[in-house]
A and B are shown apart, each in its own frame.
Chain A
Amino acid sequence: MSKLGAVVEAVEKHGKFVLDQVKRARTDEAFGRELTERWAKLKSEIPITKAPTGLQLPRFALPEIDEPGEIARYLFGEGLPGEFPYLAAAYREMYLEPLQTNGAIETGSYGNRKSPDTVAAVAGRGPRSRQQQNGANGKSAPAPKVRPPEEPTRLFSGLMLAEDTNKRFHFLSAHQRSKRLSTAFDGPTLYGIDSDADGVFGKIGEGGVAIDTVEDMVRLYDGFDLGSPDFSASMTISGPAPIMMAMYIAAAKRRFGDNVVPKLRGTVQADIFKEVQAQNETIFPVEASLRFLCDMIEWTSENMPRWYPVSISGYHIGEAGSTPVQQAAYTLSNGFAYVEMLMARGADVNVFGPRLSFFLDCGLDVEYIALSRVSRKIWAIGMRDVFGAGPKAQLFKLHTQTSGRSLIAAEFKNNLTRTAAELMLAYMNATNSCHSNSADEPFTTPSEEWIRLASHSQAILLEESGIFKHTMNMLSGSPGMKAVERAVENAIVEEFREIERLGGVMGAVENRYQRSQIQTAAHRYEQQIYDGTRPIVALNRYRNGSDDMPEVELVRTPRSKQQQQIDRLKKFKAKNAGKAEQALDKLAAIVDSDENCFPALLEAAEVCSLGQISERLQEVVGRFRPMV
């Protein structure tokens, strides 16, 4: 049995445990009383908050129950926000407006005692958890200052050359307190190919930014303080991710010195399994890719405690056409497979576990009402009960992106509405960060007009509307949501069983199980659009009768810019020719041994281009053989 089989058992056992607690609460009087008392205390400690209209509300909402069995079912089965199994949220408070602290905490019917967490009662994830750590470590330390929370909005960008993307980053983050940048790379970069390679002209800077060298990486984040606690960078790249990570570190060192390394915050996607299953941007054979990934995770977990070296992604699985359940099931099982692999190498789950992050798609199918909630629960159970992880390593820290596949070219302004509905679902699932797509994405890399609207849609939802800023659990626990949770959980566990039957994630990958399941689902989706069983407004119903495509502003990379990138890459190569060869030889030798190759990669990234490094690595470990 692979560990996935053990996860299935753990999830079932947890379900049974909850039922046992419900029964015990009803039959064991002392236990029932204990729960009822805890419940009353809990309610009495909830701070009161005030809407702009003057309406008073509890800062987090609990179900209106008082029977011990039901209290047990809620506390053990769902958990308070920030408590195992984290169905509601990974943290006690998210998205909430800061409370007024100058003695102005209102009291009300929920009680008049301050929450023990009042000081830290701010929205977002980062600051709160850090403050708790501070409090626990230094008894005599002064009360930590309340820092404004990070916004969950994280906008994805990447176009043309590094300086163009840099300009876009500054445009997007101009009004944000925290700078949370997410970087899209162009095709050649994603495949580890240099801009001056034969056959890629035309692709340079298309669909993302062209990065060949550490010098490009310096340009990309110019003007941002990479070591600041308010800055984080995310890089959506997987095949050559360890190389790009090394370039990012090299660029940071050039600008801020060696001491910046432990301060770097951000995420690199680096998810090889989903590439092989769905996105097809793998450049080395699977086993070699996984070794490079684990080398990187071990190195960054030690040396960059605030970095997320992998973003275990269902987004691309969903975009390739999977059902939502397949998306969650493959993402979670991939995650468990990484954990199993790292532990087999001797890594400590409580060191690397908290540095794993997740990325899901959010579309319009009904499953999305609770998909991430259920994923969070299954992850926590698996990590705790199968891998023995402590609380910090149980958290399913999630980035969500609205669905690109749901965006339609015909009458494309409707995409604003689609994205808005998806955003609502994403936040109902308590995502830790979120990207909202631009309406013009069926045609082009977003232009400024539409990406600005996409960013505003999040501000409207989180800042203008009162849906998420006053009360945690505002929309949790409806009978419908619970029904979806149960159905989705059962379906995910059923998928786990199938993967387990095929020998776990690796076995299923080799049998191309996930690929063929995704392709079948994609085909069914297309057929449903064509036969009308899947309604798409302005496509298969309510058409305006015109097939004309709208005039949208296209973002394309001029030939002169593509040539400029080639020219400066050639200059870089000429300048570093001797050193590059040495660094590559050293890297190749270390890869051939079993040592961790990430330090050698760091050295190579200083003087070699991306293509030079990936080519040399391919000589040693081979090329990826696609599965179709």
Chain B
Amino acid sequence: MRSPVRVLTAVPICDGHDSAINTINLEFIRHGIEVVYLGFHRYVSDIVRAAIQEDVAAVGISSYNGGHIEFFAEVVRVLRRKGASDIAVFGGGGGTITQADVKLMKRRGVDQIFFAGTSLEQMADYVRDHYGKRRAKRSGNGDLALARKLTEIEEAFTSGKKPQTRTPARNSHRAQVIGFTGPGGAGKTTLIDELVLRFLHDQPSGRLAILSHDPSVVGEGALLGDRATMINSQDDRIFMRSMATRGQAGGLSPATESCLELLAHSGFDYVFIETVGTGQEAMPFRSKLVDQTVLVMNPDYGARLQLQKIVMLDVAEIVVVNKTDLDRAKAALLEIEQRLTQNKRKQQIVATVAKRHRDRGVDELYELITKNGGTRASGASRTAQRAVPTAAKVKSR
């Protein structure tokens, strides 16, 4: 089975017109294309960084606010400068992009512009026909080569072959791997992005990788939209990769484990891995896949009885109750605390409001993750080494 075509779509800086691109994204997905959507009001540098890290075949830009000649040309120029001239640039802007503009834009390296009136079908066909070719290997050690290696792993799994990538040397530096899971809508993405903001301030030269997942069905497209809301993670010190699950249940992709191994040995201090929104029975991380597991919940899990059914509450090292500004938060924190006490393990519970700027709960979670992980020796003695209270302690403000 062939891998789906991957493209990145975005709307330029100072432009919030996302109606057209939203519709086009949906149509692309329907036609089996995986779309990494970066969102609106995006700088050239953010678009190029994302295109390289996601290793897409092409970048689609939807522009309605003028300045398209400069903007498209700049995307092409920066891609080339970064050695990614094999990533094509296409786009549209209704009637705002004239035929004369298109001539000029193509001369500057833009591959294709769709005019007003082009059907969605035609656009999707063009993308599949022109950007579906297998691309050459890349050498070197930078993000460019790493991104291509991740693509090779993903494609190998999709086509049913074992990936060719060598296993990294045992003694090479391994990043701390933190797994984030929990039901859809609990705020995992926002929470990770807020942790990234703290990492960027706290560790002035460190690097961090994020492996994020969105659901998809075998042979179909997917909307990989986490980047659009992760405003702090658009930074050269953050390497982010969005993966579609390509039919695998349980919140991860068939290629996740191999990709994670590669990322863990690619010089990052941390690798954050985010599952798709999971159900009560899910236990997405196999043993030793991650160093710490963070379960992110919101207070609206329903009746207390439901807590007994959530398997991850037995497994996670840290339980985050997000959105504690909601009315039910106090009761939820108490119920979850009691549930964890039954486990008699040294689990931590943290109350956060991730959407709030400078939230103290997120500060606390960042401390827990970075300070605990720093002294990890081996998986077996992990929990014993923690200097934490014996009973789970609710830390709410």
Pair B23/A522 contact, Cβ less than 8 Å:
yes
Binding-face segment, A139-147, A279-287, A565-573: A279-287
Q: How far is the CB of B363 from chain A (nearest CB, A)?
A: 14
- Residue B279, interface by CB 8 Å: no
- Residue B204, interface by CB 8 Å: no
Pair A203/B120 contact, Cβ less than 8 Å:
no
Pair A625/B190 contact, Cβ less than 8 Å:
yes
Question: B39-53 vs A: 1/0 string, CB under 8 Å?
Answer: 111011100000000
- The total of Cβ contacts below 8 Å across the A-B interface reads 126
Pair A409/B14 contact, Cβ less than 8 Å:
no
Contact among B66, B185, B190, B193 for A556, CB-based, below 8 A: B66
- Residue B22, interface by CB 8 Å: yes
Q: A188, A321, A409 — which one has the most chain B CB atoms within 10 A of its CB?
A: A409
Q: A511, A526, A557 — which one has the most chain B CB atoms within 10 A of its CB?
A: A526
- Residue A365, interface by CB 8 Å: no
- Given A203-B14, A442-B95, A523-B26: A628 and B225 within 8 A (CB)? yes
Pair B45/A199 contact, Cβ less than 8 Å:
yes
Q: Which of A287-324 contact B (CB under 8 A)?
A: 288, 319-321
| C-alpha spacing A573/B17, complex, angstroms | 31
| C-alpha spacing A511/B186, complex, angstroms | 11
Pair A522/B65 contact, Cβ less than 8 Å:
no
Q: Which of B100-132 contact A (CB under 8 A)?
A: 115-117, 119-121
Q: How far is the CB of B45 from chain A (nearest CB, A)?
A: 7
Q: How far is the CB of B38 from chain A (nearest CB, A)?
A: 9
Pair B14/A191 contact, Cβ less than 8 Å:
yes
Interface of A is mostly: loop
Number of B residues near A (Cβ < 8 Å) is 47
| C-alpha spacing A186/B356, complex, angstroms | 29
Binding-face segment, B67-75, B265-273, B306-314, B379-387: B67-75
Contacts of B357 in A (CB 8 A): 285, 288, 621-622
- Residue B248, interface by CB 8 Å: no
Pair B14/A554 contact, Cβ less than 8 Å:
no
Q: How far is the CB of A424 from chain B (nearest CB, A)?
A: 25
Contacts of B95 in A (CB 8 A): 409, 412, 442-443, 549
Q: Which of A178-237 contact B (CB under 8 A)?
A: 186-188, 190-191, 193, 198-203, 206-207
Q: How far is the CB of A509 from chain B (nearest CB, A)?
A: 11
Q: Closest residue to A511 on the B side, CB-wise?
A: B185
- Residue A17, interface by CB 8 Å: no
| C-alpha spacing A623/B116, complex, angstroms | 34
Q: Closest residue to A412 on the B side, CB-wise?
A: B95
Contacts of A410 in B (CB 8 A): 116-117
Q: Which of B182-222 contact A (CB under 8 A)?
A: 185, 190, 193
Q: How far is the CB of B78 from chain A (nearest CB, A)?
A: 11
Contacts of B37 in A (CB 8 A): 628
- Given A280-B41, A443-B96, A625-B190: A203 and B355 within 8 A (CB)? no
Pair B70/A625 contact, Cβ less than 8 Å:
no
| C-alpha spacing A445/B95, complex, angstroms | 11
- Residue A545, interface by CB 8 Å: no
Contacts of B23 in A (CB 8 A): 321, 519, 522-523, 526
- Residue B358, interface by CB 8 Å: yes
Pair B67/A203 contact, Cβ less than 8 Å:
yes
- Residue A627, interface by CB 8 Å: yes
Contact among A203, A412, A628 for B13, CB-based, below 8 A: A203
Residues of B within 8 A of A (CB): 12-19, 22-23, 26, 37, 39-41, 43-45, 65-67, 69-71, 74, 94-96, 98-99, 115-117, 119-121, 185, 190, 193, 225, 228-229, 231, 355-358
Can you pick out 10 interface pairs between chain A and chain B where the beta carbons lie within 8 Å of each other? A187-B14, A188-B14, A198-B43, A202-B69, A206-B65, A320-B19, A409-B95, A409-B116, A412-B95, A626-B40
Supply 6 further A-B pairs (C-beta < 8 A) apart from A200-B13, A442-B95: A199-B45, A203-B67, A279-B16, A321-B23, A626-B39, A626-B41
